[in-house]
Amino acid sequence: MAIIIDGNKVAEKVYEELKNKIDKLEDKKHFKPGVAILMAGDDKSSKMYVNMIKQKCEWIGIRADVFEFESEVDTDTVIDKIEELNEDCTYCGIIVQFPMPKGIDTLRVRESISPNKDVDSAGSANIGKFYATNDCYVPCTPKSMHRLLKEVDIDLVGLDAVVIGRSHVVGKPIADILLNENMTVTVCHSRTKNLSEYTKRADVIMAGAGVAHLVTADMVKENAIIIDAGINVKDGQLLGDVDTESVMDKAYAVTPVPGGVGPMTIAMLIENVIEACYHGCVKR
């Protein structure tokens, strides 16, 4: 029976570590760091996610201010607010909740965030640094996948990894992270022929294609480690890209959906916020 890598438990450990860092920062600098979160429209999922970020930030000791816009907001109004926040030294990080309403130029919005405050690595400056040097805020979902993989006590060097999905926010960054672990990485996607031929050889599978139960037991190598970043809603159920129940007797370790990568992604986002706080505030 596979080990369940519990994202909620790992995230709680991370939050305790982060709280200690913030307490030390406040003791030394008498400064309560802040993060600004921008969102537009009335998407319920986005509001729920933003509320979760706000609650965790405030528990740790970070002031989290949410700036909400109506669905009819225009691009310039959002960018004007971001530019104002870029100059406000009380905010160490800026998070823009995507997707934004139709009509918003999301590329312009992403690029308007100061790289020093772009804790979600939304803009090209931090993404470029990530691939060139890794000296930046690591994109949060791949960062959480990597952290959960490291919870399994195993030497990753030389292992075969298959990444399913090639998006800019999940697939490509996690492939680069695994390459930096000296793993042999294959990236598969919607145009890959005979996906199972690749997954059957993989010691590690990183799933982020956005297709419910794409990976089944017959596609998995014995004792494979499977990290599932898929989020799919089907018949009112939240499902991952991996059929977790079917792989349990074959895999060595697997993350559940829900309760795996999701909660860790918020923890990694807040870790990036604290990194920004230290860069921006410790020098004060």
- Quick check: 281 pLDDT over 70? no
Domain residue limits at 247: 140-262
Helix/strand/coil for 236: coil
Helix/strand/coil for 270: helix
CB 50 within 8 Å of CB 97: yes
pLDDT of 232: 92
- Quick check: 70 pLDDT over 70? yes
Q: What percent of the chain has pLDDT over 90?
A: 86
Query: What CATH number corresponds to the domain at position 202?
Result: 3.40.50.720
Angstrom distances, CA of residue 260 to CA of 19, 23, 186, 202: 21, 28, 23, 20
- In this structure, are 163 and 228 located in the same domain? yes
pLDDT in tens, 52-64: 999 999 999 999 9
Of 21-25, 87-91, 171-175, which range is least confident? 21-25
pLDDT of 283: 46
Query: What CATH number corresponds to the domain at position 83?
Result: 3.40.50.10860
Check residues 29 and 223 and name the one with the higher pLDDT: 223
Residue 64 lies in a domain: yes
Residue 39 lies in a domain: yes
CB 108 within 8 Å of CB 122: no
Taking residue 166's Cβ as centre, other Cβ atoms within 10 Å add up to: 17
Check residues 147 and 236 and name the one with the higher pLDDT: 147
pLDDT of 66: 97
Residue 60 lies in a domain: yes
- In this structure, are 257 and 155 located in the same domain? yes
Q: How confident is the model at residue 29 (pLDDT cuts 50, 70, 90)?
A: low
pLDDT in tens, 93-135: 999 999 999 999 999 999 999 999 999 999 999 999 999 987 7
pLDDT in tens, 31-44: 788 999 999 998 88
Q: Whole-angstrom Cα distance, residue 84 to residue 120?
A: 18
- In this structure, are 106 and 144 located in the same domain? no
- In this structure, are 163 and 241 located in the same domain? yes
**Number of folded domains in the chain?**
2
pLDDT of 277: 85
- In this structure, are 91 and 197 located in the same domain? no
- Quick check: 30 pLDDT over 80? no
- Quick check: 65 pLDDT over 50? yes
Residue 99 lies in a domain: yes
- Quick check: 177 pLDDT over 50? yes
pLDDT of 130: 92
- In this structure, are 38 and 77 located in the same domain? yes
pLDDT of 139: 94
pLDDT in tens, 179-191: 999 999 999 999 9
